[in-house]
Amino acid sequence: MSNEVGLFFINVFAAYGPFNVINALWAQFAEFNNVLPEGDSLNSTVNLVYNIANLLCLFVMPFLHKCRKLNDFILLESMLILAVILLLLLGFLYKVTINNKISIVLLSVSFLSGIVGCFGVTYIFPTLSTSDKQKSAISIGLSLGGVTVNLISSIQQSTSTLLFSIQVFYIIASIIQVITIILVGWSRYLALNNKKRQQESEPLIEQVNDQAENQTKKQVQKIVSKYYGPMAIFCSSFFYYFATPNLFPYFSKNKSWRQTFNLLVSIFNFLGRLITITPITRYINRLEIIVCILVIFFIFEIIICFVHVHEAITATAISIHMFLAGYMSTIAYYGQVQKEEGDDIEDKIKANKQYQKNVSISNQIACLSASVCAFGFCKLIDYVK
């Protein structure tokens, strides 16, 4: 029992490693907007480059697997080590530009961080997760990274002058990344030991049947349509990545409020994911209602790019939006395909694997689509204003 609890918390802290680079980059947008040539459009440009790399990587990996067998764990650790290098490059070379027009280092790091993030998410589940509890831990950990770096950034920017430099911020982020590398190794060790004990105590097929029965009886809220789940993920991710953090420079010209928006996004998205481990999901699981609410907030966020609204109202809307997005995406992403009459357990396992693949592709397409649309929308705002 204690081993399972320990594995849960280790996975929480290990899982945000793949996204530490992009989270740390987002956390400094309020500063970068003032010193880099792209200005307010930097946010949408970075996100577009990041998601292009993310999507390309997603489709390239199956071919890599066919051509050459890769050790999942070693590959994951390699990606996390690459993230440390990227963080240090970002901290010390972010001002390097081409003809004072293109922030070449920052955009290159954005592209590479997309590769790190995609590899991390693709491999972190088979490498670390051994049960539904561990999958929930990973979901929480993926959002916890944003909370951590944004809290550090908020402390950094809490006064009129920075308490510590951007370089120091990225050194701290690099140290956190090194810790995640250690935790991933430890988590992998515990996961293998836990799996070995389970296999020794009962046959594997009995474990799978027990897990399927528990999911049917106790986690009904996680059973979703194999078609509806990917559509819900698409809507949630599209609305999230269209606004975050692309539109923040247009919500307010105040640097402190921009940083506040970033912090609220990370905290409330984290809370939305965290609450899914409670029984509340048994009663609030109508994804179509949540999608409709998200549409309302999405329209509101587009309007306030052109019409001034007090920042406190904007912050409240962002908080609710991100809480619901985190909640819905977690339910949909970790859903299970309904077992049809006559299907055996192997068919169910195969269907669920296909479901996870479908929602992953749906998520990546939504992210790229949102980034492309947001990039064009930001250019339109700059033209109109």
Does residue 168 share a domain with residue 242?
Answer: no
Residues 196 and 223 in one domain: no
CA angle 181, 183, 186 (to 5 degrees): 115
- Cα-based angle 319, 179, 149 (whole degrees, multiple of 5): 25
Cα separation, 50 vs 75, whole angstroms:
20
Spatial contact of 272 and 327, defined as CB atoms under 8 Å apart:
yes
Asked if 358 and 263 sit in the same domain, the reply is yes
Assess if residue 359 is contained within a domain: yes
Q: Which of 137, 172, 201 is the last residue of a domain?
A: 201
Which two three-digit tokens encode residue 84?
């440390």
Residue 52: which CATH number?
1.20.1250.20
Whether 342 maps to a domain, the answer reads yes
Same domain, 197 and 222: no
Q: Given this model, what pLDDT does residue 327 score?
A: 84
Residue 69 neighbours by CB under 8 Å, 6+ apart: none
Among 201, 235, 261, the domain-final residue is: 201
Please check whether residues 238 and 146 belong to one and the same domain: no
CA distance 35 to 62: 40
Residue percentage of the chain with pLDDT more than 70: 71
Same domain, 224 and 189: no
For residues 327 and 247, state if they share a domain. Answer: yes
Contact 7, 134 (CB under 8 A): yes
The answer to whether residue 207 sits within a structural domain is no
- Interval 316-359: pLDDT, tens: 988 888 888 888 877 776 654 444 444 555 666 666 667 767 77
Are residues 221 and 331 in contact, defined by beta-carbon separation less than 8 angstroms?
A: yes
pLDDT given at position 371:
84
Half-sphere exposure of 319 (CA within 13 A, CB side): 10
Residue 39 — left, alpha, or beta (φ > 0 → left; ψ -120 to 50 → alpha)? left
Does residue 84 have a pLDDT over 80?
yes
Domain-ending residue, one of 136, 169, 201 = 201
Cβ burial, residue 345 (10 Å; 0-12/13-18/19+): middle
Q: Considering only CA atoms, which of 233, 253, 385, 242 is closest in space to residue 318?
A: 242
The alpha-carbon radius of gyration of the chain (Å, integer) is 21
With a CB cutoff of 8 Å and minimum separation 6, the contacts of 73 are: 123, 127, 188
Range of the domain at 330: 218-385
In a domain, 212, yes or no: no
Mean pLDDT estimate for the chain: 76
Are 195 and 239 in a shared domain? no
- The SS3 call for residue 29 is helix
**Between 173 and 246, where is the model more confident?**
173
Residue 222 has pLDDT above 70, yes or no: no
- Residue 117, domain member (yes or no): yes
Q: What is the pLDDT of residue 301?
A: 86
Q: Are residues 190 and 245 in the same domain?
A: no
How many domains does the chain contain in total?
2
pLDDT band at 246 (very low <50, low <70, confident <90, very high): confident
Report yes or no on 208 lying in a domain.
Answer: no
Say what the pLDDT of residue 348 is. 60
Q: Which residue has the higher pLDDT, 338 or 93?
A: 93
pLDDT tier for residue 175 given thresholds of 50, 70 and 90: very high
Q: In this structure, are 146 and 292 located in the same domain?
A: no
225 and 194 share one domain = no
Is residue 213 in a domain?
no
Does 309 fall in a domain? yes
Same domain, 184 and 236: no
Tokens representing residue 93 in the block = 């070379």
SS3 state at 167: helix
Half-sphere exposure for 343 (CA within 13 Å, toward CB): 15
